Amino acid sequence: MTMMLTGTTPTPLPLDQMKPWNSARQMLVCTSVTDEAPDVKTFTFAVEGGGWFNYMPGQFITVELRAKGGDLHRTYTVSSSPSRPYAIAITIKAQPTSIGTRWMFENVRPGSRVRAYGPSGHFTLSRNPGKKYLFISAGSGITPMMSMLRWLSDCAPDTDVVFINSARRPEEIIFREELELLAKRMPNLSLGFLPEARSVASPWSELMGRIDRHKLSMLTPDFMGREIFCCGPDPFMRAVSAIVHAEGFDMGHYHQESFGATSIAKSVHKQAQEPATCWPAARDQRPQSRSRRDMERKASLQNLGTPEDMFLAWFFGLPDGADVGHAALSEIARIDGIAAPSVQLLSLRSLLHQATLNILQQPRRRRRQRH
């Protein structure tokens, strides 16, 4: 049993009376804001009107921010676990040049309403299961790792996991206290923190410095036999990838995620190649048609993929069966000649979700009007 938000008075509501969050129809309500480290906060949300969250650990959501200069859209990895489905949390770091994140820090408070889209993404152990894991991250790249580790703690606490995080200074290690607590509860969890420099605020006497083969081998002697998930700034991920590749690691068991345009483009391309699992609510909650014609139409739409893919296919005039992600990215690259539009395409997928559904419903509305 959970609590449904109705103004300021929570009302108990059994799980079987709730529906999963429909990002096209329901906004999120902030329930708490927590300081995690310098310039790092966790924002926790519930579904406005009641509901639960259906996602895979490691996925992300796109948040719409109503800033003074115009609407902003920012993609944030979920740090909470789907094993606790009544709330969803994002943990974000405000960089000196941040605009959207700084706006959130200054304006989002408990009770704030936020529009978001998703969840989405393929950087998850649910799609890449293994017997043993190495979660290695730097800075705020820890967020998808924390989501996966929290899920394992709740659902498979005996899993063999090595968790490594690199930070500039000891006090900037995000989730450090919680990780140390989880290590006491998970018998096969091994932690490795790598601050690059000492700090007066938080003394440190353990291993330090940037990741290299020697440090990786010290923290994970058997990394060659693990499923590796890596997330962080591009230089960090290039270093980790180069280390394991040089050792002859099977890169089919190496997975990485970043927040740069190149990696997002790869994520969009991969989403187009795999069946969609994150966007069913708006379509599935409509009353099912009893006519054979409508049943066949529904089946054909499902075979096309996500509503976003259908819109992109229509927008770019792609033939049936085209690789939507690859073709759309190629078309945008041809027009603009730069890599950055891949980020815009990712936002386009999220923001046009409801608009695409409306377009697909128009023929049905016209038939009803004729009768």
Residue extents of the structural domains in the chain: 2-120, 132-257, 266-370
Label the pairing between strands 132-138 and 160-167: parallel
Across 128-157, average pLDDT: 96
In this prediction, residue 368 carries a pLDDT of 41
Q: pLDDT averaged over the chain?
A: 75
pLDDT at residue 61, as a whole number: 94
Instruction: Output the pLDDT for position 352.
Output: 53
Q: Is the pLDDT of residue 107 over 50?
A: yes
Q: 324-336 and 307-316 are packed helices; what angle lies between their axes, rounded to 10 degrees?
A: 50
Which of 57-71, 106-120, 219-233, 266-280 is the least confident region? 266-280
**Assigned CATH topology for domain 2-120:** Elongation Factor Tu (Ef-tu); domain 3 (2.40.30)
Give the model's pLDDT for residue 186. Answer: 97
**338-363 pLDDT tens trace:** 333 333 444 455 445 555 545 545 54
Q: What is the pLDDT of residue 17?
A: 76
Q: Cα torsion at 304, 308, 313, 319 (round to 10°)? A: -10
According to CATH, the topology of domain 132-257 is Rossmann fold (3.40.50)
Most trustworthy range by pLDDT among 3-12, 259-268, 290-299:
3-12
The stretch 221-230 carries a mean pLDDT of: 97
Residue 259 is predicted with a pLDDT of: 53
Buried b (16+ CB within 10 A) or exposed e, 116-128: bbbbbbbbbbeeb
Q: Minimal CA–CA distance to 163: which of 182, 155, 33?
A: 182
Note the pLDDT of residue 68: 74
Average pLDDT over residues 177-188: 96
Q: How far is CA 231 from CA 203, 236, 237, 241, 272, in A?
A: 26, 8, 7, 11, 22
Instruction: Work out the percent of the chain whose per-residue pLDDT is above 90.
Output: 53
Instruction: Identify the residue whose tokens are 């970043």.
Output: 258
At 110, list the tokens: 């408990």
pLDDT of the residue at 96: 81
Whether residue 304 has pLDDT greater than 50: no
The pTM of the full predicted model, rounded to 2 decimals, is 0.69
Q: How confident is the model at residue 276 (pLDDT cuts 50, 70, 90)?
A: very low
pLDDT for res 272 = 36
Identify the residue with better confidence: 99 or 69: 99
Predicted confidence (pLDDT) at residue 218 exceeds the cutoff of 50: yes
Which of 46-55, 177-186, 255-264, 333-342 shows the lowest mean pLDDT across its residues? 333-342
Give backbone dihedrals phi and psi of 159, rounded to 5 degrees, phi first.
-60, 140
Question: Cα(179)–Cα(175) distance, rounded to whole angstroms?
Answer: 6
Nearest to 281 by CA among 2, 51, 17: 51
- The confidence score (pLDDT) of residue 2 equals 39
Contact between residue 311 and residue 325 where contact means Cβ atoms under 8 Å apart: no
pLDDT at residue 25 greater than cutoff 90: no
